Amino acid sequence: MAERRHDIELMQHADGELAKRASTEVEGSLEGDADAQLKVEAIGELGELVRGHLELAADAVPQARFDALWREVDKAIAQAEPSVARRDAPVGLWRRISRWFDQHRSHIIVGAVSAGAVAALALVIGPSGGDSSMSTTNGPIEVRPAALRSPPAIESLETPGGTGNVLEMEDEDGHATVIWVTPQDTVEGI
């Protein structure tokens, strides 16, 4: 049994499979053992023979065989991923809509939640709900174009250190109000 163990260590040493320490021990035992040295040389020659034969066998395989192997690999990959094969097939309207929803699901959910929150706030804060004392109007806000609005009436104009005049004029576009402010320190007529 010790002889068999020794032969396995010789094979591992010849193939470079031993750790550095174990390889050093085997080399030390080879120096005094001519039979072990012959075995290591024979194992090395046998390994070279096998490697050379395998390289020649690989070179002898025709290119057509390699191409056939690659076609089979590609075919197996295509069968394993049916979704890839279906992408080229025509797609119906419902399938296209489903794909769009699948791709944009998060955007749709965010939009729906946001719209729901805005609607809830409008119901709570709106003029018909909530505290009526906070509401300043009893109905909708009046929105009219500026040309149809009447100008604001100014009752008094305070101008510290001067005088102020309010002139209301009417032109082809409607009413116009001009506010003229004159400081007191100007001398008229100069």
* Angstrom distance (rounded) from CA 70 to CA 86: 22
Kind and range of the H or E run holding 4? helix 2-15
- HSE, side-chain direction, 13 A CA sphere, residue 161: 3
Q: Cα–Cα distance between 91 and 133 in angstroms, integer? A: 59
- Alpha carbon distance 190, 180 (integer Å): 19
DSSP conformational letter for 175: E
Per-residue pLDDT band for 90 (boundaries 50, 70, 90) equals low
For the segment 96-134, what is each residue's pLDDT rounded down to a tens digit? 888 888 888 888 888 888 999 999 888 888 765 445 444
In the chain, what is the greatest distance between 2 CA atoms, to the nearest angstrom? 138
101-122 burial code (b ≥16 CB/10 A, e <16): eeeeeeeeeeeeeeeeeeeeee
pTM of the model: 0.31
Tens of pLDDT, residue by residue over 30-73, are 888 888 888 888 988 888 888 888 888 777 777 778 788 889 88
Distance from chain centroid for Cα 70: 34
Closest CA to 76 of 64, 85, 63: 85
Residue 30 C-alpha from the chain's centroid: 63
What's the pLDDT score for residue 70? 84
Tokens of 178: 């001009």
Give me the residues paired with residue 164 across strands: 181
- Closest by Cα among 36, 61, 66, 1 to 13: 36
Neighbours of 36 (CB within 10 A): 18
Give residue 186's pLDDT.
59
Q: How many CA atoms lie within 13 A of 59 on its CB side?
A: 6
With 0-12 / 13-18 / 19 or more C-beta atoms within 10 angstroms meaning exposed / middle / buried, residue 144 is exposed
Residue 81: which pLDDT band, with cuts at 50, 70 and 90? low
To the nearest 10°, report the CA torsion of 94, 98, 104, 107.
Answer: 90
